[in-house]
Structure 1
């Protein structure tokens, strides 16, 4: 690189430690960009190696304090496929409910963290922040009642579920979710109005999401750019991870190109399968912006919350027949290889396991942020190159936050500036 100075911006208001390194010339003009994860290596894939299969989901859940539900569900599905376990339809729906609640919870956290980027009016900011926090708390209560814990679900298991609440509890939860649908529909308009001023930053590379007739987040066909369908078994072959010496997280590329995943990709891929009329209307109006600008991912999350709430209200009645029960199906074999793809809040999540004698001998996990890192770096590079740091600093921070990166289970709020030779 021809740069002589490094300006490092650690991104506040994201999950974990992420740094954007801006390499500049003597005049402070950006010449190159690197995006680096600064978290310590977790080694979860090695931790679960040697464990009995039934214990693995509760460990992989600890990969993240926000996406615990997503890792649990994906881990359960992959292990079931390795061991030939078939579960009944109601259990599949129960898992879909779990993951939708996880999406809602995670999106509301990110919306709260992004509000300062889009709202300058302090009174309006406080009002919306309060409403978002209250809604998130009530959604977390629903998740805790259904799955035993609002962060790491304790009732979801390989083969089914250890405990499902009794019918009267499910009926009360259904009433609560329907009320949340009504209340959030009122909040939806306020949030969308507040976000009209969000900067429009172009996204580079392809995007990918699961396509499903019912906007499912636990099953579907991996689809690139909303049109190119890929066999699930081939996804891990075209998604290639690369290690970078400046980042503790790997970068993942789709056929060698940057790829983005997340709420915007799901809406674009499944717009014809949306259930909620307000969601349909907004996606129709904003389709071009959702496709072109990564900063619109925040708007996509706002829209997706109302869709998921309505889907949960639709799905809860379908699990009434298994209320009050414990359902665990046993393995049909003791070894095998299992692979699963689900939609975590931040996008496509992959788990793969090799099981021998009912013990995990190999594990591979690819997370949405690993997939997004290449796109983040390319997008920031296109945005910043040739401009001064002060000119683009605020937009860079907003752009990176728009991807909703999930680097660890902590939020670190600092801005770091230092110089070093390169």
Structure 2
């Protein structure tokens, strides 16, 4: 009896800490486990009893990369609970803020965490020495994301200008035009990034589960729709029904709750790849062309292609943000002011829903008549992804074992798959 045990402790180049356990016996994968070893974060408990105004600032501390997404998601939950409607201009500014996180995250993940895998390096430092021009432009792209978040949100992380009903500060027309020019200047590099990741060879597998993404007719939405879609199953639901549609459940081997679709019992992937599958036709023209050239078209079910989908989104984000900034620079570019709208505090409950860089993000808040939080629940992208990642790891391991690949090769490809999911394991625990 030939037994091989593969243990990967503290997987490198991801956010947070996690381990992989594989046991292979006589050519069969007996055990495949993704262990999240992060301690409980308790953010839902932290906000209970606090005034609703404080919640976005607390929730933004969940993640240093996705902090803008957590703020906007909380604001949408608060506004749903209080019956607040925002102007088109405020919605556009929130979109810019969320897209700043996309630039920050995707540039970091693709070039610092993922690219070394495919270029034969164990870290980004040899890549920086080998190709300093590529490395410098990647850092410049991330810096542009920082600049966008700072300009719109007041800080590169943990924004402070976005509040219930609007914003406390806005840029001048000249500042918007300057940002638009900077977006345009980075677009060619983003297209090159698509070509770069298209050139990397990956195993041919299809994800075991479904895909979940925000959808809206004719658009590529990230923070202004309430509709979520299970892409493979082909049905939509309103974000207010997320707990009725998504089941979280504990497993003894991991600190993270796992998730599955209640209707089908299927695990699922929520990430850039899910968004591209759901809304490919609404990508910017340049992003759609880059995706088509790379062969990334729906249905694309290989989870390794999430890297390529993120690169395509970089092109889309730069085009979209340049257009938003130029419209915001015009006096009549968007209807209404970004100043916070008037509202009355009341008891209520609401769900906020956005697309964070890593996938769908849901916040539920119940607010009492005094404006204090009575209950909170947060469902992050990685918390939703862990079960599907584990299932895909098993598929990958079975394929590699069947091909007679070495233990070292299996270990490397499994690590590549984990990084392709771009997990934030720190965010996956409650």
Alignment correspondent of 1:282: 291
Alignment correspondent of 2:424: 406
* 1:376 and 2:401 aligned: no
Q: Take 2:39 and 2:96, find their aligned partners in 1: how far apart are those partners?
A: 32
Deviations 1:232-283 (A, max 9, x none): 3323211010111221111111122110010011111111111232434424
Kindly state the Cα deviation for residue 126 of structure 1 after the two structures are TM-superposed.
4.2
Q: Take 1:7 and 1:281, find their aligned partners in 2: how far apart are those partners?
A: 38
Deviations 1:333-356 (A, max 9, x none): 411001121101011000000000
SS in 1 for 2:393: helix
- Higher relative CO (CA 8 A, sep ≥ 6), structure 1 or 2? 1
Q: Take 1:322 and 1:336, find their aligned partners in 2: how far apart are those partners?
A: 34
Alignment correspondent of 2:16: 16
Deviations 1:179-224 (A, max 9, x none): 2234433x3355245x332333331111111112331200232111
Kindly state the Cα deviation for residue 9 of structure 1 after the two structures are TM-superposed.
3.5
- Change in Cα spacing, 1:210 to 1:280, as seen in structure 2 (3 Å) is farther
Deviations 1:299-346 (A, max 9, x none): 0000110001101111123334499x8712233341100112110101
SS in 2 for 1:291: coil
Residue pairs, 1:192-211, within 5 angstroms: 192-193=197-198, 195-211=199-215
Deviations 1:281-306 (A, max 9, x none): 42475246862210010000001100
Does the aligned pair in 1 maintain the 2:91–2:224 contact within 8 Å?
no
Alignment correspondent of 2:412: 394
Q: Take 1:65 and 1:8, find their aligned partners in 2: how far apart are those partners?
A: 25
Alignment correspondent of 1:419: none
- Change in Cα spacing, 1:158 to 1:283, as seen in structure 2 (3 Å) is farther
Q: Take 1:236 and 1:262, find their aligned partners in 2: how far apart are those partners?
A: 19
TM-score with structure 2 setting the length = 0.87
Kindly state the Cα deviation for residue 382 of structure 1 after the two structures are TM-superposed.
2.1
Give unmatched runs, 5+ long, in structure 2. 122-126
Kindly state the Cα deviation for residue 407 of structure 1 after the two structures are TM-superposed.
1.4
Q: Take 1:315 and 1:63, find their aligned partners in 2: how far apart are those partners?
A: 28
Q: Take 1:104 and 1:276, find their aligned partners in 2: how far apart are those partners?
A: 19
Does the aligned pair in 2 maintain the 1:210–1:348 contact within 8 Å?
yes
**Which stretch has the larger CA shift, 383-392 or 46-55?**
383-392
Alignment correspondent of 1:242: 249
* 1:150 and 2:156 aligned: yes
Does the aligned pair in 1 maintain the 2:212–2:229 contact within 8 Å?
yes
Residue pairs, 1:12-411, within 5 angstroms: 12-25=12-25, 30-112=29-111, 113-120=113-120, 125-185=131-191, 187-188=192-193, 190-193=195-198, 195-212=199-216, 213-220=218-225, 221-225=227-231, 227-255=234-262, 256-283=265-292, 286-287=295-296, 291-320=300-329, 321=331, 327-356=339-368, 357-385=370-398, 387=401, 389-408=407-426
Q: Take 1:32 and 1:69, find their aligned partners in 2: how far apart are those partners?
A: 38
Q: Take 2:338 and 2:278, find their aligned partners in 1: how far apart are those partners?
A: 35
Q: Take 1:146 and 1:190, find their aligned partners in 2: how far apart are those partners?
A: 31
Q: Take 2:354 and 2:268, find their aligned partners in 1: how far apart are those partners?
A: 16
Kindly state the Cα deviation for residue 150 of structure 1 after the two structures are TM-superposed.
0.8
Q: Take 1:47 and 1:231, find their aligned partners in 2: how far apart are those partners?
A: 27
**Which stretch has the larger CA shift, 67-76 or 212-221?**
212-221
Does the aligned pair in 1 maintain the 2:84–2:165 contact within 8 Å?
yes
Does the aligned pair in 2 maintain the 1:349–1:368 contact within 8 Å?
yes
